[in-house]
Chain A
Amino acid sequence: MHVLLVEDDPLVANGIVVGLKLHGLTIDHVDTASLADAALATSYFDVCILDLGLPDEDGMTLLRRWRDEGHSLPVLILTARDALNHRVEGLLGGADDYLIKPFNLDELQARLHVLTRRAAGRSTDCIHHGELKFCQSTGRVWLAGEPVALARRELSLLRALLQNSQAILSTGQLCDSVYGYEQNVESNAINVHIYHLRRKLGNNIVETVRGLGYRLGPAEKVEEQ
Chain B
Amino acid sequence: MTLRLRLLLIIGVSLTALWALVATWMLVDTRLSLRDALDNRLAASARMVAGLVSQFPEPGDLVTAGNKPLDVVARDGVACEVSLLRSEVTIETVARTAGSPDLRHAATGYGTHVYGGQRWRTYVLRQGDIQIATADSIEVRETLVRELILSAGLPFVIALFGSLVVLWFGISHGLAPLERIRALLAARRSGDDSPLPEVKAPAELRPLLQTIEQLLERLQAAIVRERRFTDNAAHELRTPLTGVKTHIQVARLASQRQDEGATLEAALVNADEGVRQLQNILQRLLELARLDAESMEVESSDPVDAAQAAIEALEIVHGHVARQVRVLGVEASRPVRAARPLLVAALQNLIDNAIRYAPSTTPVIVRIEPRDDGMLGISVVDEGPGMNEKERSQAVTRFWRGNPKKPGYGLGLSIVNAIALRHGGVLELLERKGGGLEARLVLPLAEDIEALSFP
Pairwise interchain contact A19-B249, C-beta atoms closer than 8 A:
yes
Judged by a CB distance under 8 angstroms, whether B245 is at the interface is yes
Interface residues of B (CB under 8 A from A): 191, 227, 230-231, 234-235, 237-247, 249-250, 253-254, 257, 260, 263, 266-267, 270, 273-274, 277, 403-405
Pairwise interchain contact B260-A22, C-beta atoms closer than 8 A:
yes
Can you name 13 A-B pairs with beta carbons within 8 Å?
A11-B247, A11-B270, A15-B243, A15-B247, A15-B249, A18-B266, A55-B404, A82-B234, A83-B227, A102-B242, A104-B249, A105-B249, A105-B250
Q: Taking chain B's interface residues, is the majority helix, strand, or loop, or is none over half, making it mixed?
A: helix
Judged by a CB distance under 8 angstroms, whether A195 is at the interface is no
Judged by a CB distance under 8 angstroms, whether A155 is at the interface is no
A residues near B266, Cβ cutoff 8 Å: 18
A residues near B270, Cβ cutoff 8 Å: 11, 14-15
Pairwise interchain contact A102-B246, C-beta atoms closer than 8 A:
yes
Given contacts A55-B403, A55-B405, A101-B239, contact A12 B263 (CB under 8 A): no
Given contacts A22-B253, A101-B238, contact A12 B404 (CB under 8 A): no
Interface residues of A (CB under 8 A from B): 8-9, 11-12, 14-16, 18-19, 22-23, 53, 55, 80-83, 85-86, 101-106
Looking across the interface, which residue of chain B has its beta carbon closest to that of A106? B249
Complex CA gap A23/B227 in Å reads 36
Given contacts A102-B245, A102-B246, contact A22 B257 (CB under 8 A): yes
Looking across the interface, which residue of chain A has its beta carbon closest to that of B274? A11
Given contacts A22-B260, A101-B238, contact A53 B404 (CB under 8 A): yes
Leading 5 A-B pairs by shortest Cβ distance: A15-B246, A11-B243, A80-B238, A101-B242, A102-B242
Complex CA gap A8/B230 in Å reads 19
Pairwise interchain contact B242-A12, C-beta atoms closer than 8 A:
yes
A residues near B405, Cβ cutoff 8 Å: 8, 55
Considering residues B191, B230, B253, B273, which has the most beta carbons from chain A within 10 angstroms of its beta carbon?
B253
Complex CA gap A72/B146 in Å reads 96
Q: A15-B250, A18-B254 are in contact. List 11 more A-B contacts (CB 8 A).
A: A9-B242, A11-B270, A15-B246, A15-B267, A19-B253, A22-B263, A53-B235, A80-B238, A83-B231, A104-B249, A105-B253
Looking across the interface, which residue of chain A has its beta carbon closest to that of B267? A18
B residues near A102, Cβ cutoff 8 Å: 238, 241-242, 244-246
Chain A nearest CB from B223 CB (Å) reads: 11
Complex CA gap A126/B266 in Å reads 33
Chain B nearest CB from A83 CB (Å) reads: 7
A residues near B250, Cβ cutoff 8 Å: 15, 18-19, 22, 105
Complex CA gap A12/B243 in Å reads 4
Pairwise interchain contact A22-B246, C-beta atoms closer than 8 A:
no
Considering residues A85, A104, A105, which has the most beta carbons from chain B within 10 angstroms of its beta carbon?
A105
Considering residues A14, A23, A102, A106, which has the most beta carbons from chain B within 10 angstroms of its beta carbon?
A102
Contact of A16 among B237, B246, B277 (CB under 8 A): B246
Contact of A101 among B191, B241, B253, B263 (CB under 8 A): B241
B residues near A22, Cβ cutoff 8 Å: 250, 253-254, 257, 260, 263
B residues near A103, Cβ cutoff 8 Å: 242, 245-246
Contact of A11 among B237, B240, B249 (CB under 8 A): B240
Complex CA gap A85/B242 in Å reads 22
Pairwise interchain contact A80-B239, C-beta atoms closer than 8 A:
yes
Chain A nearest CB from B403 CB (Å) reads: 7
Chain A nearest CB from B270 CB (Å) reads: 6
B residues near A15, Cβ cutoff 8 Å: 242-243, 246-247, 249-250, 267, 270
A residues near B249, Cβ cutoff 8 Å: 15, 19, 104-106
Chain A nearest CB from B124 CB (Å) reads: 102
Pairwise interchain contact B234-A11, C-beta atoms closer than 8 A:
no
Given contacts A53-B404, A55-B403, A105-B253, contact A12 B246 (CB under 8 A): yes
Complex CA gap A9/B403 in Å reads 14
Pairwise interchain contact A18-B241, C-beta atoms closer than 8 A:
no
Pairwise interchain contact B246-A19, C-beta atoms closer than 8 A:
yes
